[in-house]
Amino acid sequence: MLNIALPKGRLGNKVYEIFEKIGYECPEINEKSRKLIFENEKTGVRYFWVKPSDVAIYVEHGAADIGVAGKDILLEYTPDVYELLDLGIGKCRMAVAGKKDTRDKIGKTLTVATKFPNIARDYYSSIGRAIDIIELHGSIELAPILGMSDVIVDIVETGTTLRENNLEVKTEIVDISARFIANKSSFKFKTAEIEALTEKIAEYLKREGK
Ligand code: PRP
């Protein structure tokens, strides 16, 4: 049995669609319910719906053999897992953003609001800039508007949230997408199953031109 952690929400639904198409279906998952675990003995899979930012934790601890997590989460928490494939979905960018028409005062310590303190720290230390971090858990865009921070480090997908709040991207830090990850000891003990699944996903992505 392969234990698979899927991120709850739009990304998870897309990921499950891929798994279903390559022969790892579990029809019960499509029924409307509040259940969190779904099993199909025939295809040998057990799926869990978990909070997207928790997928890597389940995989790192071995509660799930494999899972799908955003590169943002992998960069922020650096879980001890194998990253096997870039799924090419859930694409967005990690960026520095701030109010339009404001200029950075070089030399001044920058106040950065973010959900990703490690990514922000790594980025600013790579360019030798001193920062203070304000850690928030959502609606990050409010911080510069209310004068609480100079900039934010956050995910930009369509750019709508920034645009509708009169903010703009100042610098792009890194491209983000969903990654297929595996627990290290599961990979050792279930090598054949995990490799077969990885290969099928890779073939599917190639076929679909992703
Ligand atoms: C994320 C991110 C941005 C927004 C970007 O927030 O933090 O706010 O999506 O998407 P866009 O460029 O397509 O507008 P999320 O929806 O996860 O909510 P949050 O404010 O709770 O973090």
Predicted pLDDT of residue 102: 85
Answer yes or no: is the C-beta of 182 below 6 A from any ligand 1 atom. Answer: no
Distance 138 CA to ligand 1 centre (A): 8
What ligand 1 atom has the least distance to the C-alpha of 164?
14
Whether the CB-CB separation of 48 and 54 falls below 8 Å is answered with no
Distance 155 CA to ligand 1 centre (A): 6
Element (H, E) at 155: strand 151-156
Distance 92 CA to ligand 1 centre (A): 10
> Which protein residue has the closest C-alpha to ligand 1 atom 18?
138
> Which protein residue has the closest C-alpha to ligand 1 atom 22?
138
Q: How crowded is residue 78: how many other Cβ atoms within 10 Å of its Cβ? A: 11
Q: Tens of pLDDT along the chain (210 residues)? A: 999 999 999 899 999 999 999 999 999 998 888 899 999 999 999 999 999 999 999 999 999 999 999 999 999 999 999 999 999 999 999 999 999 988 888 889 999 999 999 999 999 999 999 999 999 999 999 999 999 999 999 999 999 999 999 999 999 999 999 999 999 999 999 999 999 999 999 999 999 886
Distance 54 CA to ligand 1 centre (A): 17
Close Cβ partners of 77 (under 8 Å, ≥ 6 residues apart): 56, 57, 118
Answer yes or no: is the C-beta of 157 below 6 A from any ligand 1 atom. Answer: yes
- Total-model pTM: 0.94
Q: Ligand 1 pocket test: which of 116, 161, 175 has the largest number of ligand atoms within 8 Å of its C-beta?
A: 161
Distance 170 CA to ligand 1 centre (A): 17
Close Cβ partners of 22 (under 8 Å, ≥ 6 residues apart): 197, 200, 201, 203, 204
